[in-house]
Amino acid sequence: MIKIAIAGVGNLACGLVQAIFFYSNKENLQKLRYPMIGNYKPGDIKIVAAYDIDERKVGKDLSDAIFEYPSVCEKKLNINHLGVSVEKGILLDEIPFPIDKDIKISQQESNFKESLKKHRPDILLIAINSFAKNSLNEYFKIATELGISVINATPISLATNDKMADLAKENNTILIGDEISGLVDSAIIHRVLLNLLSLPGIHLKASYQLDLADTLEGKLIMNDQCRDELRNARTKILSDAFPNVSITAGSSDWVDFTKTNKVSYLWFDGKGGLESEFEIDLRISFDETYNCAVKLIDVIRATKLARDANKSGVIQEICAYGFKYTTSDIVRKPYFEIVKAFENFISKCAGN
């Protein structure tokens, strides 16, 4: 069994709960890329605790709370009562415009540390909104001090922060992140094409990836500071990996009816044979929540397998496979190499 706690009962948590139920079915299990990771199946993941700050979620069973606004994730399955009551989480940040009108802060007290001691999960999954940097750091520090490994699904730098990585190593825990990717994911497709179009003989001059979304996280792009911080961080990682290409990457606008369906626009401009001009213009539409939830099932099982093998610190093989933004060296790797390195790592941890 893999015991996990979730900080942030939003769209990703909603997708994860439904994905665990869906792939616990033997017939559906075979549709996964990795039905087994070590000895772990998706049905071995057990959520033992959940935390949120919104009064519409706190106090409710997780099976109901995952569908409460501001979650907009489609309900694909009827989830049985889970027996996990959502507890008040940590809030150390001011909620910014415009999502300050969407969140109703629970007046209950947060006893996160005591709760975590009681439930003793193997892993804490952090899936809060990206404005909450102070809250995320507090979640991480408490979990790490208690010997609990952390998966950071948010875009906030944690696994890519050397200080935090060292802290995880010192406490003999694992830290995985940052920003979960999906089975189908425009950020990964962008990276793959950037690598392909950077091969010798091709002169790639410029590229962008711009996204539209309707989630609470997506709505943050209406805040200039939040939008610029995320865009600058994503752009820097890609620009460091491809220094000769002018790159922009990040969310572009919020559309109030796309739900968890993400629409991305990718564009590439360069020169090919005999200096001939080329231009590539792509539109990609996919359900971000469910694609990320399935990848997260792999990441959770791989993280527990790594702990069973006495690994600690940041595990780059898992980060590279499961997350959008890691190091520039990883971004430059062909994606099939990243997948192969992940498979070799879990095979080694499993003793195969």
- Rounded to the nearest 5°, which phi and psi values hold at 134? -65, -40
Q: Report the distance separating Cα 259 and Cα 67, nearest Å.
A: 13
Task: Calculate the dihedral angle through the C-alpha atoms of 74, 89, 221, 264, rounding to the nearest 10 degrees.
Answer: -40
The amino acid sitting at 223 is N
Task: State pLDDT tens for residues 127-172.
Answer: 999 899 999 999 999 999 999 999 999 999 999 999 999 999 999 9
Q: State the DSSP H helix or E strand holding residue 301, giving kind and residue range, or none if neither.
A: helix 288-308
Per-residue pLDDT at 327:
78
Q: How far is CA 137 from CA 93, 225, 352, in A?
A: 11, 20, 36
Which of 109, 58, 107, 50 has the alpha carbon at shortest distance from 84? 50
Per-residue pLDDT at 219:
82
Per-residue pLDDT at 299:
98
Which of 286, 282, 130 has the alpha carbon at shortest distance from 208? 282
3-state secondary structure 252-287: EEECCCCCCEEEEEEEEEEECHHHCEEEEEEEEEEE
- The residue ranges of every structural domain in the chain are 2-181+290-349, 186-287
- Work out the number of other CB atoms within 10 angstroms of the CB of residue 277: 9
What pTM does this model have? 0.96
Per-residue pLDDT at 265:
96
Per-residue pLDDT at 222:
81
At the top level of CATH, which class does the domain 186-287 belong to?
Answer: alpha beta
DSSP code for 313: E
pLDDT less than 50: residues of the chain:
none
At the top level of CATH, which class does the domain 2-181+290-349 belong to?
Answer: alpha beta
Task: Calculate the dihedral angle through the C-alpha atoms of 174, 321, 284, 76, rounding to the nearest 10 degrees.
Answer: -60
2-181+290-349 and 186-287 have identical folds:
no
Q: Report the distance separating Cα 61 and Cα 80, nearest Å.
A: 10
Per-residue pLDDT at 326:
81
